[in-house]
Structure 1
Amino acid sequence: MIVFLMFVALVAMICLNVPIAVALAISGIIGLVATEGTGSLVTVALDMYDGSTKFSLIAIPMFVLAGAIMNASGISQRLIAFVSALIGFVRGGLSMVSIGVSLFFAEISGSAVADVAALGSILIPEMKKRGYKKAFAAAVTSSSASLAIIIPPSIPMILYAVSAETSVEQLFVAGVVPGLLGAAGLMGVAYISARRYNLPIEEAFNLRRVRSTFIEALPTFTLPVIILGGIFGGYVTATEAAGLAVIVSIMIGLWYREVDFGRLKTAMLEGGMQTAVVMLLVAASVLMGGFLTRAQIPQEIAQSIIDFTSNKFVILAILNVFFLIIGFFLHSAAAIILVVPIVVPLIQQAGIDPVHFGLVVTLNLAIGQQTPPVASVLITACSIAKANIWDVSRMNLPFIGVLLAVLILCTYVPQVPLFLVEYFYR
């Protein structure tokens, strides 16, 4: 009964526009007081502090800062120039440039919102100038930005690893193949759409231009080598790689001598606020998690589902539907922090690899970023393009279909995301 009342209180506060972190903390406190009395509140502040100061979480502000430096120092423009020279000769090449650059930018920022804000502000106006429908420009930019939480480093993966007490590095490795498959599928849809809408060819292929833009962007290519090479090779942890990414981003910015300190300040402030929201959610989740753990709620839910079916693929199907629905209404960080601690006992009893399940959760939430009413990435793209959200959503359906196909493939063929993990770690 107390769990039902807490859930009702949580939903009511969210409907009243109370911040999710605050609503979560209040609900957790209500549960603790109702079951253990006011004496349980003595250590609340310390518990929240301890929960939000885990070493792995330091990677979040570091990757956000690296993305901000990258965007303020001319790195994004050089990436766009190189990818445009490489694939701009294809019909609708600018839409593929958006996907290709997002694939690279994803390896730095780990945030889909940061990706769409940084690249969309450059690419969407350019696509509109060249005759692309604004709804299509927003859709392709929004869907490609979701690669940022599939391709490592990924902020939602870090949060999942902390919540499920599993390896961040292995999750990063598991995201590589699904991310590349997603990018290839999105490019395929973009090409078919370009033929359908007769979108323009940007420029003829020119090997000299490819060479010159590659040389100009060459320092930038050290970033994924350091981040992914260091993690895959076992030389650094994810958190240490985040710190190295910041240092190298600063060095590249100084090399180019184009650091826009005004844009950097704005990006850092926005990144700081984004990080603060995530950390407050993590701290608040400690209270709710403490109550649920002591009340054995996750274990009871797990047992009831196991009693219904012990087939792990059926359980994965149930959880997929659940996370897809959750993704409609919650941001990825909130969804992970709220739900993952509850379902971890279930995946443990069902014998599901926690790294595999983390990739499944991440893909679900990548789709959730594209589906209203919350759809933070989609809304950001619509704002930049000045396009109607429902027009963009209709145009976005084929791209969402690609992400769903990757989700189904990774759910039921676990070797797809896990074979690199097996190779490097097991």
Structure 2
Amino acid sequence: MTLLVLFGGLLLMLVMGFPVMVALGASSLAAILVDGSVPDFIVLHRMVGGMDSFPLLSIPFFVLAGALMNSAGITSRIFDFARALVGWMPGGLGHVNVGASVIFAGMSGAAVADAGGLGAIEIKAMRRAGYDPGFSVGITAASSTIGPIIPPSLPLVIYGVMASASIGQLFAAGLVPGLLMALSLMLMVAWYAVRYQYPRDVGFALGWIALTFRRAFLSLLTPVIIVGGIVLGIFTATEAAIAAVIYAMLLGAVVYRTLTFKRLLAVTMETIETTGIIMMIIAASSIFSWLLTSHHVAENFANWMLAVTSNPTIILLLMTLILFVVGCFMETIAAITILVPILLPIAVNLGVDPVQFGIVMVLNLMIGLLTPPVGLVLYVLSQVSKVPFERCASATLPFLIPLLIVLMLVTFVPSISLWLPTLIYR
């Protein structure tokens, strides 16, 4: 009865349109009251306990660093450098779109920040060059999913906390899959360019590459500072996020002088709002996860899956399908906090490394950001591009193919994600 109230209440409230954090908290409280075996004040205790984690301090700082990069005009410098670097290829601006997302991924760590920041610049440039609006939105949406895979990554920080996994190893594990995603999307752009005769954006010019690199050089140092500092043991992921904020403020306020006090205040308020939402989701989902654990949901679910099949490949495919479906309906952070306690024990029993499973989970959920009915990235790009949501969704569908291929490779070829962490940490 308790689990019926827990899952039934969550589903009902989500269908009714309640915010995820309200649905998680209210359904958990209702389940505790129905169970009657524990006092209701355990809700507050679990909420506070769920947020009491040092690595979670990195969340507001990574959010603020990405927002500062957008507000200080750093994204335009990144776009210009990517344009000079790969714009000479057929379908030039499509490749620029992917290249800029790879570079910006090392700064923001969030798909929505990529879509909202770079997306406006990319789509405007592609429209001016005569690209089909659907193609422009589709490649922009697909490339934005690279952000949370290449370090730093907010979803990987949340996963690391929930799974008690090394955030440094998770960051290292995301680099090769992220580059594979970029390569697969660029191959898709090349195919579109041949089929629809998309033009080259610019000619190849070493001088322009050098000029735009010089303008963007200080911005490009951001991922070097973050990732290099963590890998070399200079600071933790949390301290790296603080360093990124300080560096972004120095660039915006002192070097480029594009960050005014008014902009800083707006960015700070935006960060407070985003962080508050994330932390409330984590707090509410910690109660939900505790109830799942105390009622042995993970153990029972594992037994059910093993009763269906004992083939590890099929079980991994089933978990991938579950993650994909959940990603279509639920916000990424909420999905991670709910599903890690259920799926991770099964994956570990199959011999899957927790670090590899983290990349698989986050990549799955990123693809979910491109699919209705939630499709948060699609909603952002629909607002930015003024293209109807339905058109955005249909235009993005072809770009799911290369992303799903990379997902299968990462799932069934562990060395893709584990090679770098093994080389650095193990």
Q: Give the TM-score normalised by structure 1.
A: 0.95
Q: Which amino acid aligns with 2:340?
A: V
Report what 1:96 is aligned to: 95
> Where in structure 1 do 4 or more consecutive aligned residues deviate above 4 Å?
260-264
Report what 1:306 is aligned to: 306
1:207-237 CA-to-partner distances (Å, cap 9, x unmatched) read 2111111111111121111111112223222
Instruction: Give, in whole Å, the separation in 1 of the partners of 2:86 and 2:297.
Output: 52
Pairs within 5 Å for 1:234-383: 234-253=233-252, 254-383=254-383
Conserved? CA contact 1:174–1:418, under 8 Å: yes
Pairs within 5 Å for 1:72-83: 72-83=71-82
Conserved? CA contact 1:139–1:381, under 8 Å: no
Identity %: 39
Pairs within 5 Å for 1:14-413: 14-37=14-37, 40-253=39-252, 254-413=254-413
Using the TM superposition, give the Cα deviation of residue 200 of structure 1 relative to its aligned residue in structure 2, in angstroms.
2.9
Conserved? CA contact 1:67–1:114, under 8 Å: yes
Conserved? CA contact 1:72–1:260, under 8 Å: no
Task: Please state whether the residue corresponding to 2:352 is helix, strand or coil.
Answer: coil
Instruction: Give, in whole Å, the separation in 2 of the partners of 1:79 and 1:331.
Output: 28
Using the TM superposition, give the Cα deviation of residue 407 of structure 1 relative to its aligned residue in structure 2, in angstroms.
0.4
Conserved? CA contact 1:324–1:364, under 8 Å: yes
Using the TM superposition, give the Cα deviation of residue 345 of structure 1 relative to its aligned residue in structure 2, in angstroms.
2.5
Using the TM superposition, give the Cα deviation of residue 261 of structure 1 relative to its aligned residue in structure 2, in angstroms.
4.6
Task: Please state whether the residue corresponding to 1:384 is helix, strand or coil.
Answer: helix
1:314-371 CA-to-partner distances (Å, cap 9, x unmatched) read 2211100111111111111111112211222222332221111111101101110111
Instruction: Give, in whole Å, the separation in 1 of the partners of 2:278 and 2:336.
Output: 11
Using the TM superposition, give the Cα deviation of residue 264 of structure 1 relative to its aligned residue in structure 2, in angstroms.
4.2
Q: Which amino acid aligns with 2:199?
A: P
Using the TM superposition, give the Cα deviation of residue 386 of structure 1 relative to its aligned residue in structure 2, in angstroms.
1.2
Using the TM superposition, give the Cα deviation of residue 308 of structure 1 relative to its aligned residue in structure 2, in angstroms.
3.6
The aligned length equals: 425
Q: Higher mean Cα deviation, 131-140 or 406-415?
A: 131-140
Conserved? CA contact 2:2–2:32, under 8 Å: no
Instruction: Give, in whole Å, the separation in 2 of the partners of 1:136 and 1:200.
Output: 14
Q: Cα gap change, 1:288/1:423 in structure 2, threshold over 3 Å: closer, same or farther? A: same
Using the TM superposition, give the Cα deviation of residue 271 of structure 1 relative to its aligned residue in structure 2, in angstroms.
3.0
Using the TM superposition, give the Cα deviation of residue 260 of structure 1 relative to its aligned residue in structure 2, in angstroms.
4.7
5+ residue gaps, structure 1: none
Instruction: Give, in whole Å, the separation in 2 of the partners of 1:381 and 1:328.
Output: 17
Using the TM superposition, give the Cα deviation of residue 252 of structure 1 relative to its aligned residue in structure 2, in angstroms.
1.7
Conserved? CA contact 2:5–2:27, under 8 Å: no
Q: Cα gap change, 1:97/1:262 in structure 2, threshold over 3 Å: closer, same or farther? A: farther
5+ residue gaps, structure 2: none
Q: Which amino acid aligns with 1:346?
A: I
Conserved? CA contact 1:68–1:264, under 8 Å: no
For the aligned residue pairs, the C-alpha RMSD in angstroms reads 1.6
Instruction: Give, in whole Å, the separation in 2 of the partners of 1:406 and 1:261.
Output: 43
1:53-89 CA-to-partner distances (Å, cap 9, x unmatched) read 3111111111111111111222111111111112222
Task: Please state whether the residue corresponding to 1:90 is helix, strand or coil.
Answer: coil
Q: Higher mean Cα deviation, 404-413 or 246-255?
A: 246-255
Task: Please state whether the residue corresponding to 1:147 is helix, strand or coil.
Answer: coil
Conserved? CA contact 2:177–2:416, under 8 Å: yes
Q: Higher mean Cα deviation, 180-189 or 253-262?
A: 253-262
Q: Cα gap change, 1:393/1:207 in structure 2, threshold over 3 Å: closer, same or farther? A: same
Using the TM superposition, give the Cα deviation of residue 263 of structure 1 relative to its aligned residue in structure 2, in angstroms.
4.4
Using the TM superposition, give the Cα deviation of residue 266 of structure 1 relative to its aligned residue in structure 2, in angstroms.
3.5
Q: Higher mean Cα deviation, 403-412 or 24-33?
A: 24-33
Conserved? CA contact 1:302–1:349, under 8 Å: no
Using the TM superposition, give the Cα deviation of residue 109 of structure 1 relative to its aligned residue in structure 2, in angstroms.
0.9
Conserved? CA contact 1:120–1:141, under 8 Å: yes
Q: Give the TM-score normalised by structure 2.
A: 0.95
Q: Which amino acid aligns with 1:376?
A: L
Instruction: Give, in whole Å, the separation in 1 of the partners of 2:72 and 2:114.
Output: 15
Instruction: Give, in whole Å, the separation in 2 of the partners of 1:348 and 1:144.
Output: 30
Q: Higher mean Cα deviation, 171-180 or 382-391?
A: 382-391
Task: Please state whether the residue corresponding to 2:147 is helix, strand or coil.
Answer: helix
Q: Which amino acid aligns with 1:213?
A: T
